[in-house]
Structure 1
Amino acid sequence: MASPWWIIAVIGGGVGFFGGLFGAGGSAVGTLLLHVVGVPAFVALASPLPAAVLIALAASRAYWERGYVDRRTVTWSIAIGLPATVGGALLTPYVGGPLLIQITEGVIAAIGVRLAVFPREPSERVGEDAGMFRVRLILVAAAVGVFSGLLANSGGFLLTPLYLVVLRLPIKRALATSLAVSAALAVPGTVTHWALGHIDWSITAVYAAAAAPLAYLGARLAIRANPQRLTRVYGTALALLATGLLLFHR
């Protein structure tokens, strides 16, 4: 292990807690932090992926218990997102990674600002045409899948804001559904990087041991929060994180 175990545990615990609170597995943030403390690039990229599955499952359990997970959205997102993830991974050698990351971070920052300024819960989709909702859902799932494959993460960074803005899901349903889908989308990347020998399982074990229980705690805290306040906090955090990463990658 390149860094002391307690540093890996602190990173894992922090990523797990905020992943549960904000509906993402946190593999992208985990990668950056692990690399900063001295973990080699490929290991930092791959080792959080198995933990992202556990983080998403632990946090989504809290939402399942309260009935927040949108099963239709989960089913379609996984059905479309999994093959799109594989396609995105295959496109990696042909796409400019740094530019793609910056575009993604810019879009997420803009969505974060929108949610922070206008945190209203969407009205119920009464009488909405099911076909149009399905089209939007397929487009979201395909886009997130491709980006997940290209960027080697579980997609939660994109799923929740797109569920909120494009599908107009309520904040807690968006967070819950994003976590359930992220757990599935992280599996292909985990298997691939495992086969390539990029995963340091000692790092994964320490990281996941701290992350999983705190992810559940973060999800329970989100469930108790006022929806508009949670949306505003989520949007602010999203905008700050994406802007910070955008400036870091300049």
Structure 2
Amino acid sequence: MTWWPIALIGAGVGFFAGLFGAGGSAVGTPLLHATGVPAFVALASPLPAAVPVALAASGAYWERGYVDRRTLLWSIAIGIPATVGGALLTPYVGGPVLVRITEGVIAAIGVRLAAFPREPQERTEEAGAFRVRLIAVAAVVGVFSGLLANSGGFLLTPLYLIVLRLPIKRALATSLAVSAALAVPGTITHWALGHIDWLIVLVYTAPAVPAAYLGARLAIRSNPDWLTRTYGVVLALLASGLLIFRN
């Protein structure tokens, strides 16, 4: 196996993760699979890297007070058990099918955010109504996180934007912090199932961590509408290209 493409993917995904508020494993999965990494290994091996990548990027946001602590705590409390449940379902769904699902979801989210990038205005509402929507988001993301072997950030950021109407930088920051937590139970479960290649993890992670921090610093200095639109365009193009390439 040639290792430099894996390191290059790690650097690119790390920067993407820091810039767009995701642990990066959802994007890493189809890219690794495209280089010849077996489907289940491509699904699970980027997951351990999501922990240090997300922590490195979220640290840059945390220093500036962008992390929404209420959303963070509820997302972790609901998302962790949902992640374990989703991971346990993985052996019952074919690896290639899971990769396709990942690409399809990424493409759909990308189109939505590219078409409607406007920064939402925060609104006052009853705490109970917000909590119900937050619990629903955390549960859905947790199941997908475990099932698709990723840290959930690729869904958290757009759902925080669309469903919870968080401002883009707060959504990015909180998504990264939650992603780091959700990646832990998924990593343990997939390790027990024998899906993780730790050499791939090492080669992938080494360049990803510093790249994630640089991406986060750039996002903090960027225009919110630009961030949202660029996020959507990149996701849509990447996922659509991978879907076409494999047809």
Q: Compute the TM-score of the two structures, normalised by the length of structure 2.
A: 0.90
**How far 1:159 sits from its partner (Å)?**
0.9
SS of residue paired to 2:63: helix
Which of the numbers 133, 137, 142 marks the counterpart of 2:134? 137
Q: Distance in 2 between matches of 1:109 and 1:33?
A: 14
CA shift, 1:201, in A, is 2.3
**1:70·1:173 contact (CA, 8 Å) conserved in 2?**
yes
Residues 48-197 of structure 1: matches in 2 within 5 Å?
48-94=46-92, 105-106=103-104, 108-125=106-123, 127-197=124-194
Q: Distance in 2 between matches of 1:213 and 1:199?
A: 22
What does 1:170-249 align with in structure 2 at a 5 Å threshold? 170-248=167-245
Percentage of matched positions with identical amino acids: 82
Aligned CA RMSD, in angstroms, stands at 2.2
Contact 2:18 2:54 in 1 (8 A): yes
Asked whether the 8 Å contact 2:29–2:99 carries over to 1, the reply is no
Distance in 2, Cα, partners of 1:14 & 1:100: 22
The residue type equivalent to 2:212 in the other structure is A
* Paired residues, number: 247
Secondary structure in 2 matching 1:198: coil
3-state SS, counterpart of residue 66 of structure 2: coil
Q: Which segment is superposed worse, 191-200 or 214-223?
A: 191-200
Q: How far apart are residue 197 of structure 1 and its match?
A: 3.7
Change in Cα spacing, 1:7 to 1:106, as seen in structure 2 (3 Å) is closer
Structure 2 partner of 1:3: 2
Counterpart of 1:39? 37
Quote how far apart the aligned CAs of 1:104 are: 6.1
User: How far is the alpha carbon of 1:99 from its aligned partner?
Assistant: 6.3
Q: Give the equivalent residue in structure 1 for 2:23.
A: 25
Relative distance call for 1:103 and 1:47 in structure 2 (3 A) is closer
Conservation of the 8 A alpha-carbon contact between 1:3 and 1:38? no
Paired residue type of 1:222: A
